[in-house]
Structure 1
């Protein structure tokens, strides 16, 4: 594979795969341009998963992933495969083999990963729908950085056939759009039938606001105050002790790492065929392979605590307000190793509890950087969450001066 660009946007579209491909000329998503992360199978095509070694060894897919099929059956036009961080094991949005997808909404800054190409394609108006995956934040972080709506659905509510996995206990299929309405329309195609409840309670966990950078603490609290009036009830998230927050990132890192090791161990340890990775991703794989069963058991205890907490604090009519990311998009080339664990502290709440989370790009920062917040609902309430997000976005739009 070469690093040749598509539409002159480096790091967004792959060279391989179909372009302007359409199978149906009618449907709920007629002519919506679909950009697909290069981890989804398309019959007769190969995937790189962001790594040339993987692409070289890959065989053409026998079947198209059902998530892609469902969207194509509703009239989407397949714009192209999009670049991802290697094996989707990064939140940065930078691939040493194929380039970094520069943030279309903030020149010189990162798009975030690992669904960087899908996010950048939508943010640059090269696609209407960016299909991707979210294991540790790979939809939510690009959504925050690029000013998009993005959903990480409840775990396992969407079939994952034809998907190159990262860590199956946490992998989800998500998508990014410019509007809450289209985000919901895609959900009507991909999500199973679910009851749609009127979400009337906003749950607030004050300690989470301390996890964002000082410059964003006032804006995130202002967003909360602007959001509150649209909910009939407000209640505090009961956090037994602050240590649970400090344990989030490491527990997720361990559980994700153990799952990655189990999934990719054979490929990573092929004699004489060690794939070339970016240094940070190589270090992550090395760490994952070294994790122990004992560490996994301790991390599982933290996960169980969070699942219990979410069950106690959220129901079918309530959602949690939380920051999506601790910062706006970093500049390209910035060392984000410390930022990664700060991000995961926020993103791991949904991952560990198998919950649905949507980023809403509704901040209006003075410096023009895209930013917003998330709403999260407990497992299986995806359509209620999407309906709530759509209504809230409409209210925000009405309240914004022209």
Structure 2
């Protein structure tokens, strides 16, 4: 493994991109749930490759980036079959968080975030079902995006929960971040910025006090950039109610996804992963029906809050990255709290971008912006303008 432990054990995978294109000269890493032709997709578990045959073709996202001139720099460690949010893998190890050594990088796209933060590549692909790009972005101080659900072709990517799965990416700077988006979305950034900023006061109130204080200057800068500012409640039913609904829906889907693998191969699993799958198998129809109704309410709430020209901001995570190696009984409350700020992504399918730059207790914390479904490029435009604004004031 490299110094950061970001890449999967064994020889590094290198695939050259096209000789010319909008991403020519850039390199990218690929989360080990995403297919690269001729390379086993490991999924963060030693028994997953026995179930998933070696791919003959690149995933759509990988092929699109190669065609645009970027080159693959390696496959990166993931939390086991994407069922994790902190970035610790019992089989492949925990990638370094270069922005906060000694702390977890966040998961499940842990290796991709680590590789970008360590400057081992220019950008990296990850997946996000319940927060797996957004959380590492916050913990490692990176730009990261969870696109509109269904906006990017998921062909060639290992599925966890189809109702929530998305493919996103990380970058250190907003210009590269946006260039990747223009390629994957097939369109240029808009010229104008949104005109209204909503601030989710319930989400900010849920975050640790030092996170609220660390993000306050960024919120003020963002408000100055956008214009009109208004405080709102994101989840009138309660953030924890949204989190519970997402956990029921995502857990049930994950169980259905992995049941054939479990039945046929009896794989080796970390305790937390096995427990999550077992819990998913025990969800009742009544729980799923109630969660589906809450998803409808959450989607209606976001449609009401986010007309064209409006974005909303909230803390990406309620606290900075925890220390590595915490005992299991301390991890569950952390995962639950993170889910209270990330569940809206899977429930509503709206795009979300993490803006880096703030620190709390010496570790990065991110400010997120979300927009209506399909407004991904608007959020990338805001990220570029936000970074340019900071550079002008530096």
Q: TM-score range by the shorter chain?
A: over 0.9
Supply the distance in 2 between the matched residues of 1:17 and 1:378 (Cα, whole angstroms). Answer: 42
Matched residue of 1:109: which SS? Answer: coil
Corresponding residue number in structure 1 for 2:44: 50
C-alpha offsets along residues 160-207 of structure 1, whole Å, 9 cap, x if unaligned? 000101101100000000011111100011114488353111011211
Matches within 5 A, 1:47-126: 47-126=41-120
What's the CA shift for 1:24? 1.2
What's the CA shift for 1:234? 1.6
Supply the distance in 2 between the matched residues of 1:239 and 1:81 (Cα, whole angstroms). Answer: 36
Corresponding residue number in structure 2 for 1:282: 274
Q: CA RMSD in A?
A: 1.7
What's the CA shift for 1:227? 2.1
Matches within 5 A, 1:345-356: 345-356=340-351
Quick check: 1:362–1:396 contact (8 Å CA) kept in 2? no
Matched residue of 1:340: which SS? Answer: helix
What's the CA shift for 1:235? 2.3
Corresponding residue number in structure 1 for 2:358: 363
What's the CA shift for 1:220? 2.4
What's the CA shift for 1:19? 2.7
TM-score of the superposed pair, with normalisation by structure 2 = 0.95
Matches within 5 A, 1:138-177: 138-177=132-171
Quick check: 2:134–2:146 contact (8 Å CA) kept in 1? yes
Corresponding residue number in structure 2 for 1:293: 285
Corresponding residue number in structure 2 for 1:258: 252
What's the CA shift for 1:210? 1.4
Corresponding residue number in structure 2 for 1:231: 226
Structure 2 portions without partners, runs of 5+:
none
C-alpha offsets along residues 61-94 of structure 1, whole Å, 9 cap, x if unaligned? 1221110001011111211110100110100101
Supply the distance in 2 between the matched residues of 1:24 and 1:220 (Cα, whole angstroms). Answer: 40
**Closer/same/farther in 2, CA of residues 233 and 247 from structure 1, 3 Å limit:** same
Asked whether 1:22 is paired with 2:12, we answer: no
Quick check: 1:91–1:137 contact (8 Å CA) kept in 2? yes
Supply the distance in 2 between the matched residues of 1:178 and 1:315 (Cα, whole angstroms). Answer: 30
TM-score of the superposed pair, with normalisation by structure 1 = 0.93
Quick check: 1:153–1:357 contact (8 Å CA) kept in 2? yes
C-alpha offsets along residues 296-325 of structure 1, whole Å, 9 cap, x if unaligned? 110111111111111001022110011000
Corresponding residue number in structure 1 for 2:263: 269
Matched residue of 2:177: which SS? Answer: helix
Match of residue 298, structure 2, among 282, 296, 306: 306
Quick check: 1:157–1:192 contact (8 Å CA) kept in 2? no
Corresponding residue number in structure 1 for 2:213: 218
Matched residue of 2:73: which SS? Answer: strand
